[in-house]
Structure 1
Amino acid sequence: MPEVMFAGPDGRLEGRYHHAKQAHAPVALILHPHPLHGGTMNNRIVHALYQRFQAMGFSTLRFNFRGVGRSQGRYDGGIGEISDAAAALDFLQAVNPNASSLWVAGYSFGSYVGMQLLMRRPEMGGFVSVSAPASHYDFGFLAPCPCNGLMLHGADDELVPETSVRKLVDKLNTQKGIRIDYRVMPGAGHIFTPPQAEQVADAAEDHVMGVLNRGRMALAAD
């Protein structure tokens, strides 16, 4: 789990990067919750997803947004953080120029940033969105949503009502060619317990491996 520092738009950004052994491995970028509410790349969900993508054979990066940990700069209301995520993706793609696919996963605020990143990088192959803050931010920019993905939410989320996320998912699923895999975790709030964090990682693995396996089968059939 080597430490990395890479150039961001407002100074250097601190991350942890795992490089997959196999050639042309897929890559994943993991984004943490809100910087002003204690969010860091060491968050329980971020770490669980980082480890799980690594176990699935991905080259994987998690990093601190500007002003968090050893990352330079200061919080920028989401705008600068989207630029930070784009810089992290640039780093990932520079190190993995022949990656077979590209994924982004985010938790809470990181989910919002990840979805914004989807709209800027059409090469994205899929996404994992955990506890998307659909009642706090306008997700209307997903018009159209550029790719399919997994959205997961706690049934008892006290900060973001599950109904607000379900409404967003229903809207996305009306778009042509888009299928959002929506999963609601019973008994889970916005902050997940350690066992629930593993359940989140299990759901991500189930979704991602299903997509990758269908892709391999389609290639084999050609």
Structure 2
Amino acid sequence: MPDVIFAGPEGRLEGRYQHGRTPKAPIALMLHPHPQHGGTMNNKVVYNLYQTFARQGFSVLRFNFRGVGRSQGEFDRGEGELSDAASALDWLQMYNEGAASCWIAGFSFGAWIGMQLLMRRPEISGFISVAPPANMYDFSFLAPCPSSGLVLQGDKDDIVPEPSVAKLVNKLSQQRDITVDYRVVQGANHFFTDRMEEMTGHVEDYLRQHAEGAQEAQAAAR
């Protein structure tokens, strides 16, 4: 799990990277919660997402947004952080030319940034959005949402109420050609305290289903 430093729009960005074990392994980028509320790449949800993707054979990168840890710059209300995420994806792609697929995963504020990046980078083929802050930020830019993905939410979340996320998912689910898998973790708060294993279990299950579906599609095309 080597430390990495790469160039961002406002200076260096600090990350942790794990390379996949197979040629052309899929890639995945992890995005952390709000920098002004203690969010870092070492957040437990982000760390567990990172480990889950790595176990499923992905080359995975998590990193600190500008102004967090050893990353240079200052908080920029989401605009700069979106640019940071784009730079991180550029770095990940540079080291993984020919990757089988590209995924984005984010938690809370990171989920909001991740969905914006999804709209700007057509190579992103799947997403995991954990506790997207639909009550705090405007997600209307997802018109239409360009790819299918998984949304995870705790029913005891007192920061992002579950009904606000359900409303967002319902809106996205009305769009054609994509499927949003919405899973509510019973008893989970915003940080999935004592429910982390259930959260990662859902992510593993979704990634496994997606991989099996892709294999079946390839076999049918032969």
TM (norm. structure 1) is 0.98
Report deviation, 1:71: 0.2
Tell me whether 1:206 sits opposite 2:200 in the alignment.
no
- Percent of aligned pairs sharing the same letter: 59
Q: Does structure 1 conserve the Cα–Cα contact (< 8 Å) formed by 2:187 and 2:195?
A: no
* Aligned residue in 2 for 1:127: 127
Q: Does structure 1 conserve the Cα–Cα contact (< 8 Å) formed by 2:111 and 2:131?
A: yes
**Secondary structure of the corresponding residue to residue 192 of structure 2:** coil
* Aligned residue in 2 for 1:217: 216
| Unmatched 5+ stretches in structure 1 | none
Report deviation, 1:133: 0.1
* Aligned residue in 2 for 1:164: 164
* Aligned residue in 2 for 1:118: 118
Matches of 2:19 and 2:10, distance apart in 1: 25
* Aligned residue in 2 for 1:93: 93
TM (norm. structure 2) is 0.98
**Secondary structure of the corresponding residue to residue 195 of structure 2:** helix
Report deviation, 1:202: 1.1
In structure 2, give the amino acid aligned to 1:100: A
**Secondary structure of the corresponding residue to residue 125 of structure 1:** strand
Moved more, 149-158 or 195-204: 195-204
Report deviation, 1:198: 2.1
Runs of 4+ in structure 1 deviating by more than 2 angstroms, as ranges, are none
**Secondary structure of the corresponding residue to residue 124 of structure 2:** coil
Matches of 2:104 and 2:66, distance apart in 1: 18
1:97-131 deviations in whole A, cap 9, x for unaligned? 11000000000000000000000001111000000
Q: How many residues align?
A: 221
Q: Does structure 1 conserve the Cα–Cα contact (< 8 Å) formed by 2:103 and 2:127?
A: yes
* Aligned residue in 2 for 1:149: 149
| Unmatched 5+ stretches in structure 2 | none
